[in-house]
Each structure stands twice: as structure tokens, then as C-alpha cells.
Amino acid sequence: MSIDNPVEHDSDGCAEVRAREFPCQNCGATVAFVPGRAVLKCSYCGSENRIPQSEDEIRELDYRAHLAQCAAESETQEVATFTCDSCSAVVEWPEDVTAFPCPYCGTDVVAAAVSRKLIKPQALLPFRIARDDARGKFRAWIKSRWFAPSKLKHYARTASRLVGMYVPYWTFDAKTTSYYSGMRGDDYWDTETYTATENGRAVTRTRQVRRTRWSHVSGVVWNAFDDILTVASHSLPAKYAERLEPWDLENLVAYGPEYLSGFRAESYQVDLADGFVQAQKVMDVEIRATVRRDIGGDHQDIHSVRTQHDNVTFKHILLPVWISAYRFREKTYRFLVNGRTGEVQGERPWSWIKITLFVLLAAAAAAGLTWLALSLHSNG
């Protein structure tokens, strides 16, 4: 078993080993390894946290059933929603409105609302960027697209459809215990003899070559995760949702319907269990990085990692996004502004006429420069 002991070097170049600290699973205080026993003992409450000794001791939990139970115990609310036939967005139905354009794709919605029982949001980030500021960013973004169609730039100057949407997200906290097995590679230098030809004669020479010595390793690593964020919407393109980050989650406020006044909210399409599956993928990246640090050496080859997730908690939160959905030549494009930071992301069409003209002009300019160079050379 390998326990991660980070090594630091002082100003004299000497190594100083810093002991890792682990929390008690019972009370959260720091536990310490008991020599001769495979346990970490808490000096505060006396609990003993057993260290897994094999892969078989890592329990596989039924996360879907576990999280479904959490959802059943959470506060829920009845929400009137509609599902857009064009883009499948699930948006809360505005009061006193019979028809309106879908904020995600611009399609006119006239379908009847459906009542759904959903987990109530626990928190949200209120809008900080005003509509006029978001509209200005939209116009500046379109203006900077050199190869965008001229009609699109005209749309940016005249369009006023910009919707403030609260987009659903899940956040997850968890403590993980991961058993791993793999190989550690340590580089070393070896002297190699070889034959070379010098002045027509064969001579023997030596050289230093780097080789790697591999050894089997296994061990256990612990990680703690806080506010792993996963988008609970299929309407917002994943790559653009990720590019809107980071979010200042430390400024979350308790959910209140007052914050939604003048804005719209999307209901989650990704349920709690599927949201946690996405969160585990995010966690796995950090877990594997921790495993590599724990293996040490110059190279690491991870064969297997099995992870147990404990103390899993979640929040359903809403994050503010300004959205402009526009249709251009029968295709929908979206422009997004982070309602807190002003970060801009968007989809755009291309004007192939402008691109073709640019290529032709560039080719003509290159041909002209070549002709000029040849003329100067011949005259010289």
C-alpha cells in the first residue's frame, strides 16, 4: 500500500516530508495511522477508520437508488412547463401568456403547459449584467466576426430579442476512497557498448542511455470534492456551457421567486442520478491525477481504479444566462452571455461569399508580390 507523502525542498536543497491529513469518517477530526494495524484512529472520538487492503473491499454503491432517495426527501414544487417541439427545451410557462417564442431557438410556442413535480431549487446566482450591457456585448461580438453574413450584422443592430434565462445546474459534494493498481517507472542511466566506423576502421565506443525500471504498485488515495458543477439542461450546448465558466458559486443566495421576476427559468432535463454520473466523470480526472502523484516515480501506468463515493450531497441551483436565439437561413444560432461575469459565447453562420473573395484577394496579392520580386530580380 502506498500513502501519498508530498515532498518539499528547503533552501538548502534538503527534502522535507509533510504528512498527509485525513478526516475521521465519524466526526471529521484528523485521524492518524496506527503502526502495525491497517487503521487510521481518531484522537478526538476514538473511531477507527479501516484502510482498504484490497480491491474487493471497495464497495460499489447503487448511486441511482441512493440519489433517488435523496430526491424523494427533498423539497419539491409543482411547475407548469412546456417542451419546445423544435429544440426540446423545457421552460417554465410565463403567467398570463398564451404564445411566445422559445428563448433557446426562437420558435413560436403555442402548446399547452404541463404540470410537473420537480425538485425545488435551493439557491441561485442573481443576474448582475443588465440587458443593455448584454445587448451591447452581442453587437460587439457580431461586429468582430469578419466572415459573418452582412444580414446577420444588420440583425444585431435591429434585434431586441434578448432573454434572461435561469439555467438549471446540479452541484455535488463527495468524499472518495479509491483503490488502485498499476506500474511505477523509475528512470536510470546505463552504459551501452556499441561499434562505430572511424577512418575506415571498426572501433568500440560506449554511451549513456536512459532506461526505465518498472515495478508493480497498489494503494489507496482519498479525495474531497466540493461543488462539482454539472449542467442539467440539454438545451444549452455543452461546449458553450463549459466556456461560460467560472461561476462565483460562493455568492449563491437562497432561492426565492422574487429573483425570477422579469426573467424566465428552465426546468431541469438531466435528472439527479444522471447529473451525478456526469459529476463522477469530473471527479475521476482529479482522482487519477492523485493516483499518479501517489505512485510517484518518473512514469505511471494506471491499470485499474475503483472508487467509493461517501457523504454525497447535492444542490439544485439556477445560474443566470442572457440568450439571443436567431434563425438564419433556416438554421438556429444562439448567443450567450454569462449573467454574472459578462463572458460571451456564441454560434455563428459563415458567409462563404466573403471567404471566397478573401481567398481570391489573398491569392492575387501573393501573385502580385511574386511578380514584383521576379521583376526586381531580373532587372537587377
Quote the cell numbers at residue 185. Answer: 517507472
Lowest mean pLDDT among 15-19, 170-174, 220-224, 325-329: 15-19
Handedness of CA 251, 256, 262, 263 (dihedral sign): positive
124: its cell numbers: 441561485
Average predicted confidence (pLDDT) for the chain: 75
Residue type, 346: G
Cis peptide before 246 (omega within 30 of 0): yes
Q: Is 171 exposed, middle or buried (0-12, 13-18, 19+ CB in 10 A)?
A: buried
- Per-residue pLDDT at 334: 77
Q: What is the pLDDT of residues 9-33, one digit of tens each?
A: 333 333 333 334 567 777 777 766 4
Q: Is 90 exceeded by the pLDDT of residue 85?
A: no
How would residue 248 be classed by pLDDT, with cut points 50, 70 and 90? very high
In this prediction, residue 352 has a pLDDT band, given cuts at 50, 70 and 90, of very low
Percent of the chain with pLDDT strictly greater than 90: 26
More confident residue, 267 or 185: 185
Compute the C-alpha angle 104/168/272, nearest 5°.
125
What pLDDT is recorded for position 73? Answer: 65
Least confident among 77-86, 101-110, 309-318: 101-110
Instruction: Note the pTM of the prediction, 2 decimals.
Output: 0.68
Q: What average pLDDT score do residues 125-152 get?
A: 74
The pLDDT value given to residue 63 = 62
Give 3-67 as a 3 state SS string.
CCCCEEECCCCCEEECCCCEECCCCCCEEEECCCCCEEEECCCCCEEECCCCHHHCCCCCHHHHH
Say what percent of the chain tops pLDDT 70: 59
The reported pLDDT for the residue numbered 294 is: 96
**23 vs 347: which has the higher pLDDT:** 23
* pLDDT at 209 (0 to 100): 92
| Geometric angle at alpha carbon 230, from 173 and 309, rounded to 5° | 35
| Torsion sign across C-alpha atoms 189, 191, 194, 200 | positive
Q: Cell numbers 431557438 label which residue?
A: 105
For residue 165, give the nearest of 358, 350, 335 by alpha carbon: 335
Range ranked top by mean pLDDT from 126-135, 144-153, 166-175, 230-239: 166-175
Counting Cα atoms < 13 Å in the Cβ hemisphere of 9 gives 4
What's the rounded mean pLDDT across residues 126-152?
Answer: 73
188 forms beta bridges with 211
Residue 178's pLDDT is 95
Average pLDDT over residues 52-73: 60
Query: For 50-78, what is the mean pLDDT?
Result: 62
Rounded to the nearest 5°, which phi and psi values hold at 328? -135, 115
For the residues 43-50, what does the mean pLDDT come to? Answer: 77
Query: Residues 39-48: what's their mean pLDDT?
Result: 76
* Identity of the highest mean pLDDT range in 60-64, 92-96, 275-279, 361-365: 275-279
The pLDDT assigned to 122 comes to 86
Q: Could you read off the pLDDT of 273-298 as tens digits, one per residue?
A: 899 999 999 999 999 999 999 999 99
What phi and psi, each to the nearest 5 degrees, are found at residue 62? -85, 90
